[in-house]
Amino acid sequence: MPPAPAPAYRGRFAPSPTGPLHAGSLVAALGSWLMARHAGGEWWVRVEDLDPPREVPGAAEAQLRTLAAFGLVSDAPVVRQSERHALYRAALDRLLAADLAFACACSRSALAAGGGVHRACAPGPARAQAAVRLRVPDGSVVGFEDALCGHFAQDVATDVGDVVLLRADGCWAYQLAVVVDDAAQGVTDVVRGADLLDSTPRQILLQRALGLPTPRYAHLPLIVDGDGRKLSKSLAAVPVDGDDPLPALRVAWRALGQRPGPFDAPGRVERGLARASAAFDPGLIPRKPVPLAAVHNGPVTDDP
Ligand code: GLU
């Protein structure tokens, strides 16, 4: 399939259907939508359903229904990664043919001995089923300018090791699929949660190995609970209510550091979104994690 022509700005929201949409995912959905609208660009939704063991049946449809109830509707037909195996296979085959990827049957214990960081296949018992990894040369330090987090660099060789592209259980790794799809869909701007900040250098390395363009990145602050834990890992990760979208939109809007107003008046959600896209100021987005209590009490600022 030829890549989609590159527009000036094409953003995306790419949820994994592992459960209902919660407050944290709504921040990523609304934040990526607002950044796209602010730039006069497009916003596409992609269902990242490549991990059947973690998937909850019906969750993808429920997430899309909830997004629609929030007025967040993809500008292009929704793409599902589970229907795109041939694209990932073609990318992997190119890497294998260029000797940039290799099969690895290292056992779990051999990997654990290296702290989970794979640098060379260990002799000894092998797994029946091999994984495929990207060959990450020593000294693969990758840095990039994040629109919100500033400069971020990582030594992918020492911090991550040889990146898994095809898992030993036969599932495509998120890292490969996301890189292939962002390029195939002509995504120019990736706006997502800061929990994925440290996945970005390995994605850039993979883009370079495949000869694909690197999009711009902006990683949104995570909402954390009182103990500083990511919201989705705590009891506070309650699903957002598509039947009553305004309260959750207000919370997401505050988590993005914006001045109250757009979602305060009752009425149709589309009205609120129109007011929000007119009022949105990316410069107000906090650069650090946002405590849940703060978003329930008023706008979040970067002030100490
Ligand atoms: N599917 C990933 C998630 O739900 C997000 C991928 C991305 O935005 O790059 O965490």
Assign 111 to helix, strand or coil. Answer: helix
Domain positions in the chain are: 10-83+221-295, 85-177
Reply yes or no on whether the pLDDT at 302 is more than 70: no
Q: What residue spans of 23-163 are helical by DSSP H?
A: 23-38, 59-69, 85-97, 108-113, 156-159
Ligand 1 lined by 48 (C-beta under 6 Å)? yes
pLDDT, average across residues 136-142: 98
Atom of ligand 1 minimally distant from the CA of 195: 10
State yes or no: is 288 an active-site residue. no
pLDDT, average across residues 222-235: 70
Q: Give residue 4's pLDDT.
A: 62
| Rounded distance from Cα 263 to ligand 1 centre (Å) | 26
Span of 1-10, 129-138, 237-246 with lowest mean pLDDT:
1-10
pLDDT, average across residues 164-182: 97
Atom of ligand 1 minimally distant from the CA of 18: 4
The Cα diameter of the chain in Å comes to: 66
d(Cα 249, Cα 258) in Å, to the nearest integer? Answer: 12
Most confident of 20-24, 42-46, 107-111, 231-235: 42-46
Reply yes or no on whether the pLDDT at 303 is more than 80: no
Atom of ligand 1 minimally distant from the CA of 15: 4
Domain 10-83+221-295 carries which CATH code? 3.40.50.620
Q: Please report, as a single letter, which amino acid is at residue 203.
A: Q
Assign 246 to helix, strand or coil. Answer: helix
Bridge partner list, 12? 44
Ligand 1 lined by 175 (C-beta under 6 Å)? no
Q: Does domain 85-177 have CATH number 3.90.800.10?
A: yes
Cβ contact 185:10 at 8 Å: yes
Same fold, 10-83+221-295 and 85-177: no
**Block residue for tokens 């405590």:** 291
Ligand 1 lined by 192 (C-beta under 6 Å)? yes
- Please report how the helices 269-279 and 245-255 are oriented relative to each other, as an axis angle in degrees rounded to 10: 10
pLDDT, average across residues 200-208: 98
* Ligand 1 mutation pick, 44, 51, 178, max ligand atoms within 8 A of CB: 178
| Rounded distance from Cα 210 to ligand 1 centre (Å) | 20
Q: Give residue 304's pLDDT.
A: 41
Q: Give residue 298's pLDDT.
A: 53
Three-point CA angle 73, 233, 108, nearest 5° = 105
* Ligand 1 mutation pick, 10, 172, 174, 176, max ligand atoms within 8 A of CB: 174
Q: What's the pLDDT band for 235 if we cut at 50, 70, 90? A: very low
Residues above pLDDT 90, as percent of the chain: 77
Atom of ligand 1 minimally distant from the CA of 178: 9
| Rounded distance from Cα 95 to ligand 1 centre (Å) | 23
> What's the mean pLDDT when you consider all of the chain?
92
Atom of ligand 1 minimally distant from the CA of 193: 8
Structure tokens at 169: 């259980």
Three-state SS string across 181-198, please? HHHHCCCCEEEEEHHHHH
Ligand 1 lined by 196 (C-beta under 6 Å)? yes
| Rounded distance from Cα 14 to ligand 1 centre (Å) | 5
Q: Give residue 272's pLDDT.
A: 97
| Rounded distance from Cα 199 to ligand 1 centre (Å) | 10
pLDDT, average across residues 129-144: 97
Q: Which of 89, 119, 233, 288 is catalytic?
A: 233
| Rounded distance from Cα 126 to ligand 1 centre (Å) | 31
Q: What's the pLDDT band for 224 if we cut at 50, 70, 90? A: confident
Ligand 1 lined by 232 (C-beta under 6 Å)? no
Ligand 1 lined by 46 (C-beta under 6 Å)? no
